[in-house]
């Protein structure tokens, strides 16, 4: 079950929000959707739900154009949260379950289970407006997940949550992916995305910049090696090595940029020849570095 976005183009007057954007979201994975403000993330998400007209391009689910029927099996949490303020939590989640095609009994059962899972079962009879921000966010997520969607699209689901809330919601999203659901979420908290997501898509100016698995992206390209040799502050031993550049010396820890194809054992040998090696490891890039590099 794959979501395919193919050459999405959307113009608002002189502004081009989406400029031939294409990428795919695979089943069973939590996919991060990143980009600076105004990159076109929200427009893309709205396009998946037909909430914005497209000037060109198409959205396909399992190879078929997305229509009202397939959208019933999607879940959505928009950037601007929206619930009926004076409606009870339970009633509200049930209502959305029914709109997605569940019958009355199934909707009731699914609502109880989902609220339990998100830790807000005790507030079933409360009005939404009486809940704290964090709990409203959980109810919003319940609305998106109550019908066991095949695809769930979440615009900034972690914004404004305390660390406990982030962990809880992150765990729920991982469970959803394990169930076989495709999860696409946007966020500005790159460290959280790195922990939570298996793949990321980075866009800017409505165009795709980088896409791929988080592991591949953070280890790809120039390797970074951190070496510490006891008593050494100059790293003279490393400067002789071919394909190795000293990028930084920080209180005895030498950070090396290693070109592809260079054998790390040769570097270790050179370090040992210079003294006792107390630290030797490859440094992964943070996702935030990948992000900044990708956006130039």
Partner 1 sequence: MNAVPIVILIVAVAFIVRRGSRRRSTPNLGAAVSSGIGLVATREIQQRLRGRILRVATLVMLLVIAAAIVIPTLGGKGGSQTKVGITGTVTTAERAAILDIGKQVGSTVHIVAEANPATARADVSDGAVDLAVVDGDQVVVPRALTDSDASTTALTARALAVALGEQRAEAAAKLTPAQQAALGKVAPVAITGLKPAKGSDSDQGTAVVGLILMFVMLSQYGTWTLMGVMEEKASRVVEVLLAALRPNQLLGGKVLGIGVLVFAQATILVGFALGLGAAVGSNILNGTAPVVVVSVLGWLVLGYAFYSWVFAAAGSMVERQDQVQAIAFPVTIPLLIGYVSSITAVSSGHASLYITVLAYLPPTAPFAMPVLVSLHAATWWQFTLSALISLGSTVMLARFASAVYRRAVLRTGGRVKLRDVLSGARTQAGPPRTNEAV
Residues 25-64 as x/- pattern, contact with partner 1 by CB under 8 A: ---------------------xx-xxxxxxxxxxx-----
* Distance between CA atoms of residues 139 and 125, nearest Å: 12
Pairing of strands 277-283, 244-250: unpaired
Q: Does 282 bind partner 1 (CB under 8 A)?
A: no
* Distance between CA atoms of residues 187 and 92, nearest Å: 26
* Residue with Cβ nearer partner 1 (59 or 131): 59
Task: Count other C-beta atoms under 10 Å from residue 281's C-beta.
Answer: 10
* Residue with Cβ nearer partner 1 (13 or 296): 13
Pairing of strands 182-186, 151-155: parallel
Q: Write down the least CB distance from residue 282 to partner 1, Å.
A: 43
* Residue with Cβ nearer partner 1 (44 or 199): 44
Q: Write down the least CB distance from residue 101 to partner 1, Å.
A: 8
Angle of helix 89-99 versus helix 133-145 axis, rounded to 10: 30
Q: Which residues of 100-111 are buried (b: 16+ CB within 10 A; e: fewer)?
A: bebeeeebbebb
* Residue with Cβ nearer partner 1 (155 or 232): 155
* Residue with Cβ nearer partner 1 (74 or 237): 74
Give the DSSP letter of residue 284.
P
Q: Write down the least CB distance from residue 112 to partner 1, Å.
A: 19
* Residue with Cβ nearer partner 1 (88 or 288): 88
Q: Specify the length of the chain in residues.
A: 296
Residues 107-146 as x/- pattern, contact with partner 1 by CB under 8 A: ---------------------------------x--x---
Residues 61-100 as x/- pattern, contact with partner 1 by CB under 8 A: ----xx-x--xx-x-xxx-xxxxxx-x-------xx-xxx
Number of residues that bind partner 1 (CB under 8 A): 37
Residue 246 near residue 256, CB atoms below 8 Å = yes
Residue 207 near residue 21, CB atoms below 8 Å = yes
Instruction: Give every strand in the sheet of 244-250, ordered side by side.
Output: 244-250, 253-258, 223-229, 277-283
Q: Write down the least CB distance from residue 242 to partner 1, Å.
A: 54
Give the DSSP letter of residue 219.
H
* Residue with Cβ nearer partner 1 (7 or 278): 7
What residues line the site for partner 1 (CB under 8 A)? 46-47, 49-59, 65-66, 68, 71-72, 74, 76-78, 80-85, 87, 95-96, 98-100, 103, 140, 143
């Amino acid at each position: 079950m794959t979501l395919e976005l193919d050459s999405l183009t959307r113009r608002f007057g002189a502004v081009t929000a989406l400029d031939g954007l294409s990428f795919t979201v695979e089943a069973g994975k939590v996919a991060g959707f990143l980009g600076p403000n105004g990159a076109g993330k929200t427009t893309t998400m709205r396009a998946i739900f037909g909430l914005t007209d497209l000037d060109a391009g198409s959205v396909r689910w399992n190879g078929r154009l997305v229509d009202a029927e397939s959208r019933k099996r999607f879940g959505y949490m928009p950037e601007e949260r929206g619930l009926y303020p004076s409606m009870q939590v339970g009633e509200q989640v049930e209502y959305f379950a029914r709109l997605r095609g569940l019958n009355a009994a199934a909707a009731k059962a699914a609502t109880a289970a989902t609220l339990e899972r998100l830790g807000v079962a005790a507030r079933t009879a409360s009005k939404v407006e009486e809940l704290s921000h964090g709990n409203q966010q959980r109810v919003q997520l319940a609305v998106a997940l109550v019908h066991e969607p095949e695809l769930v699209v979440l615009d900034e689901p972690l914004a404004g949550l305390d660390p406990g809330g982030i962990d809880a919601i992150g765990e729920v999203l991982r469970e959803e992916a394990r169930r076989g659901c495709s999860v696409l979420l946007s966020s500005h908290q790159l460290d959280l995305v790195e922990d939570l997501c298996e793949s990321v898509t980075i866009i800017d100016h409505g165009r795709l910049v980088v896409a791929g698995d988080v592991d591949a992206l953070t280890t790809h390209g120039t390797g970074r090696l951190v070496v510490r040799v006891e008593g050494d502050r100059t790293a003279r031993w490393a400067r002789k090595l071919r394909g190795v550049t000293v990028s930084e010396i920080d209180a005895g820890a030498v950070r090396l940029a290693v070109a592809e194809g260079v054998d790390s054992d040769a570097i270790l040998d050179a370090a040992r020849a210079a003294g006792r090696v107390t630290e030797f490891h490859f440094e992964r890039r943070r996702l935030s570095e990948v992000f900044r590099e990708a956006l130039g």
